[in-house]
Amino acid sequence: MKQETKEKLIKYAVCFGVEALIAFFVIWSKGFFTDRAAVNIQILSDAFFVSGILMTLFACMLYISGEGGLIGIGFVLRNVVLAFIPMGRARHEKYADYRERKLSEAKKPGDHCMLFTGLFFLIIGIIFTAIWYVKFYNV
């Protein structure tokens, strides 16, 4: 097996393990196997949905950060800190220069393991919600 394939499989395994751990903690905190089947399916739905949505949102935040969407916030916070440091304004740079420097330093991740595993867990959570709705929801 190629080295790139091994590294990619390890990344997917780590993402899957983190999401499974989050799902396990949600299941454990809600007391799985202590109630009826309807409640257990709700717990499974919550566990998979929470872990999936957290990882998907984290992947989206990494994408936004990698594209430079949060550079302005960093620039403002840096200038606020420099305003309170003696002679801090001497190191002031323009926003265009700051943005260009940060974008040149940024590395772009090529794989989307967090997004795909997050969507996988999210779909499983939606499937459990649909099962609960069809089998146990009484109008």
In a domain, 85, yes or no: no
pTM, full prediction: 0.78
In a domain, 95, yes or no: no
27-36 burial by CB neighbour count: b if 16+ within 10 A, else e? beebeeeeee
Question: Which of the pair, 81 or 138, is modelled with greater confidence?
Answer: 81
Q: Could you tell me the two tokens for 118?
A: 């997050």
In a domain, 36, yes or no: yes
Number of domains forming the structure of the chain: 1
Amino acid at 63: Y
**Host domain of residue 31:** 3-68+106-136
pLDDT 10s digits, 12-57: 999 999 999 999 999 999 887 777 888 889 999 999 999 999 999 9
Checking if the pLDDT of 130 tops 90, the result is: yes
Amino acid at 136: F
In a domain, 73, yes or no: no
Tell me how far apart the alpha carbons of residues 138 and 135 are, in angstroms, rounded to a whole number: 9
In a domain, 79, yes or no: no
Query: What is the CB neighbour count within 10 angstroms for residue 106?
Result: 12
Q: Is the CB of residue 99 less than 8 Å from the CB of residue 71?
A: yes
In a domain, 98, yes or no: no
